Amino acid sequence: MIVTKDSDSSYEIAPILRLFVQPIELLPPPPAELQGEQALLPEYVDPIAGIPKLGRRGETLYVRPVEHLEEGKDASRLEPDDGIFEITRTASDFDNNAPEPPGSFTSRKKRIQVDGEKAGKYKDVRGFRLHQERSCTFWRFNIEVELQDKQQRIAYRINRGPATGFWVPARSTAMNIMFHSCNGFSLSVNTDEFNGPDPMWRDVLNTHQTRPFH
């Protein structure tokens, strides 16, 4: 489901979601133990840095490196380029002149050899209007993904926007879902005191770069 702002949208043609297979290498598990002065590779320090996402206006945004987030400031409601996402993907602070780490999302995506959309194997799903309230329209897409013998990464894009991926489990494999319904803050709470990336969700998303299902 997506929500569109009526004043910024045209509904002559209903939104269309394109669904296709787009495999990507998983990040190998991090070392269980570091020996001596051995340093942890950059791709394991912040695995989700640089991952693209769909912005509110249909633009491509990127997850900001965790070390670029300002301390003591709630950035969750700030628009790019001041929030937890950024319009232009930036390198981490480890070494700006170094090549992209081989295990980073960007490097792994460049090595994609099979892309259903480029091969002409995709499915376009037209959204239907579910509800309209307060100058916003809610759209629903009915999608179906056939499970295979192995887990697979499925990508989608809306109205030719940036592609976003998600994983589906292998056939006959359990799939756990994690979600929260509210951050529990009242209007009187100073959210700057609870600043920074959510450690629980950041850890979950980082783990998903190695094991989408766990």
Residue 120 falls in which region: left (phi positive, over 0), alpha (psi -120 to 50) or beta: left
Domain that holds residue 158: 1-24+115-171
Q: 73 and 167 share a domain?
A: no
Question: What is the per-residue pLDDT for 32?
Answer: 83
More confident residue, 189 or 120: 120
Query: Which carries the bigger pLDDT value, residue 82 or residue 173?
Result: 173
Last residue of a domain, one of 154, 171, 188: 171
Q: At 3, list the tokens.
A: 């929500």
When divided into structural domains, the chain yields a total of: 2
Maximum Cα–Cα distance for the chain, whole Å?
63
Reported as a pLDDT band with limits 50, 70 and 90, residue 128 is very high
Same domain, 57 and 159: no
Question: Is residue 208 in some structural domain?
Answer: yes
Q: What pLDDT, in 10s, does the model give residues 15-47?
A: 999 999 999 888 888 888 888 888 888 788 888
Residue 151 belongs to some domain of the structure: yes
Judge if 122 and 79 occupy the same domain: no
Mark residue 142 as left, alpha or beta (left: phi above 0; alpha: psi -120 to 50; beta: remaining): beta
| Residue 161: inside a domain | yes
Residues 195 and 103 in one domain: yes
Residue 102 CA to residue 110 CA, distance in Å, equals: 10
For residue 3, tell me if it sits in a domain. yes
Task: Please report whether residue 192 resides in a domain.
Answer: yes
Confidence of residue 99 (pLDDT cuts 50, 70, 90): confident
Beta strands per DSSP E along 103-199: 123-126, 128-133, 136-140, 152-158, 164-168
pLDDT band at residue 136 under the 50/70/90 scheme: very high
Q: Does residue 29 belong to any structural domain of this protein? A: no
The reply to whether 17 and 55 lie within a common domain is: no
| 97 and 181 fall within a common domain | yes
pLDDT band at 8 (very low <50, low <70, confident <90, very high): confident
Query: Are 5 and 103 part of one and the same domain?
Result: no
Quick check: is 89 in a domain? yes
Query: 124 and 212 in one domain?
Result: no
CB 35 within 8 A of CB 168: no
- Whole-Å CA distances, 191 to 30, 109, 202: 33, 35, 18
Domain co-membership, 17 together with 104: no
